[in-house]
């Protein structure tokens, strides 16, 4: 097992190119199950979650070939419709094979998902709406077993704009008979990217960018080549890392529109923000406190909440960060306290007293985004910090140490 050693208080400056979005590529990769023809992807990030997804698809019978930055997948000869526990347990997004398998092969058996321990995140919205499309679903021995004689399009109204449920139902509807309408659909940029990918294969998805999606079922799909959007969560992480060290950082390869809510908060905190079509530059002399609540897109992302908590430890005044998406997503707080932060939890809110002098210490990662928060705090802390259990980081940040080092950070990966 590896750990990171970070010597803090090194100002970060420069440019960093953002990888393609993990959260976009996860559903897109499972979407190849809809298509018997070859599908080609460019610049899939080298991440643990990508490896796990490819292993899962390979186990189902998908043929995978990699040549340089081009990865080709073909689901023309699927040999299994069962996603087993040994792979699904490590990554919640594995549940996204359910919709594609069910609509194309009329059956699927998928282990109940695992992933980061940030809350219950039930899949009832997935299952209840698949049943409305004509699926028969049984939960047995830790598995979702689903069958259908053929999915039929209908109107679906989601009780919550769940990203995963929207993705699963959208893919299930692609090969369903007739039209499916998904109301109160999630509006995250990754949803738009999945829709654009499906359409590139010949699907008929409209309403992209809104909370009402229309999917007209088609009989078959065709070969395509596709590249996902830049990772907005990674981009925000590096921007915040630059700010907490008092530097000036530019992220390249990301759509600034995907981070409107984050940039608005940073501007309110006194940050200077400059944008182009595919880059964002931030700098600040003095940071002010913030009051932020997470909410579905276009609101402030829950995946950037932990990083913001780390940042406001170095802002003047008292900040209040409220988490409205996941009930157990403040696990980074206890570790930030070890670094000297002043944080009090009240219900689903964190109250942070700023301008505390952080001091390097050994800390432990608990989930992917909490890990990023600890990295950010360690960059501002005096002395050396040890970041343990960084396998969480490897799920979502490509070449983290190299990118940070290129900006001026003193960071080293070593064996425990």
> Could you give the residue numbers annotated as active site?
116
Is 27 within 8 Å of 194 (Cβ atoms)?
A: yes
Task: Report the SS3 class of residue 61.
Answer: coil
- Beta-carbon-side half-sphere exposure of residue 379 (alpha carbons within 13 Å): 32
CB-based contacts of 162-165 (< 8 A; 24+ apart in sequence): 162/125, 162/126, 162/186, 163/23, 163/188, 163/190, 163/191, 163/296, 164/92, 164/93, 164/95, 164/96, 164/123, 164/126, 165/123, 165/125, 165/126, 165/129
Size of the chain in residues: 416
CB atoms within 10 A of CB 403: 22
* 322 within 8 A of 311, measured Cβ to Cβ: no
Q: Are strands 318-322 and 291-293 parallel, antiparallel or unpaired?
A: parallel
- Helices of type H across 207-331: 232-244, 260-268, 305-312
CB 128 within 8 A of CB 155: no
What gap in Å lies between CA 64 and CA 74, rounded to an integer? 7
The alpha carbon torsion through 409, 410, 413, 416 (nearest 10 deg) reads -130
CA-CA distances (angstroms) from residue 100 to 34, 113, 267, 342?
5, 16, 41, 47
Q: How far apart are CA 50 and CA 21, in angstroms?
A: 11
Strands of 148-203, DSSP E: 155-157, 179-183
Q: How far apart are CA 226 and CA 280, in angstroms?
A: 24
Q: Which two tokens stand for residue 321?
A: 């960060």
Three-class SS state of 370: helix
């Amino acid at each position: 097992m590896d750990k990171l050693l970070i010597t803090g208080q090194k100002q970060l400056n420069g440019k960093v190119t953002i990888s393609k979005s993990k959260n976009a590529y996860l559903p897109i990769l499972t979407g190849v199950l809809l298509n018997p023809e070859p599908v080609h992807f460019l610049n899939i990030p080298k991440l643990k979650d990508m490896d796990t997804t490819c292993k899962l698809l390979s186990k189902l019978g998908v043929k995978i070939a990699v040549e340089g930055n081009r990865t080709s997948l073909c689901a023309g000869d699927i040999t299994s419709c069962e996603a087993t526990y040994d792979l699904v347990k490590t990554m919640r997004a594995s549940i996204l094979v359910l919709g594609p398998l069910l609509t194309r092969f009329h059956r699927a058996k998928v282990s109940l998902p695992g992933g980061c321990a940030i809350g219950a995140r039930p899949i009832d919205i997935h299952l209840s709406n698949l049943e409305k499309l004509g699926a028969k679903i049984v939960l047995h021995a830790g598995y979702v077993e689903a069958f259908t004689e053929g999915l039929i399009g209908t109107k679906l109204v989601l009780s919550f704009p769940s990203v995963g449920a929207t993705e699963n139902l959208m893919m299930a509807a692609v090969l369903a008979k007739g039209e499916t309408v998904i109301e109160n659909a999630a509006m995250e940029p990754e949803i738009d990217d999945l829709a654009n990918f499906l359409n590139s294969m010949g699907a008929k998805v409209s309403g992209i960018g809104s909370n009402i999606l229309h999917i007209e079922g088609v009989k078959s799909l065709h070969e395509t080549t596709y590249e996902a959007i830049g990772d907005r969560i990674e981009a925000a992480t590096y921007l915040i890392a630059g700010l907490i060290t008092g530097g000036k950082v530019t992220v390249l390869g990301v759509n600034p529109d995907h981070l409107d809510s984050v940039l608005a908060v940073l501007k309110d905190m006194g940050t200077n923000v400059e944008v182009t079509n595919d880059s964002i530059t931030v700098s600040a002399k003095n940071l002010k406190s913030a009051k932020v609540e997470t909410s579905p897109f276009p609101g402030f992302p829950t995946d950037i909440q932990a990083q913001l908590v780390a940042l406001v430890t170095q802002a003047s005044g008292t900040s209040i960060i409220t988490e409205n998406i996941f009930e157990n997503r403040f696990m980074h707080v206890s570790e930030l306290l070890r670094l000297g932060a002043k944080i009090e939890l009240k219900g689903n809110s964190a109250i942070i007293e700023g301008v505390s002098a952080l001091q390097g210490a050994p800390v432990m990662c608990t989930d992917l985004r909490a890990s990023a928060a600890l990295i950010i705090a360690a960059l501002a802390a005096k002395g050396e910090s040890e970041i343990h259990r960084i396998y969480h980081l490897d799920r979502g940040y490509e070449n983290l140490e190299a990118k940070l080092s290129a900006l001026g950070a003193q960071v080293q990966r070593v064996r425990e």
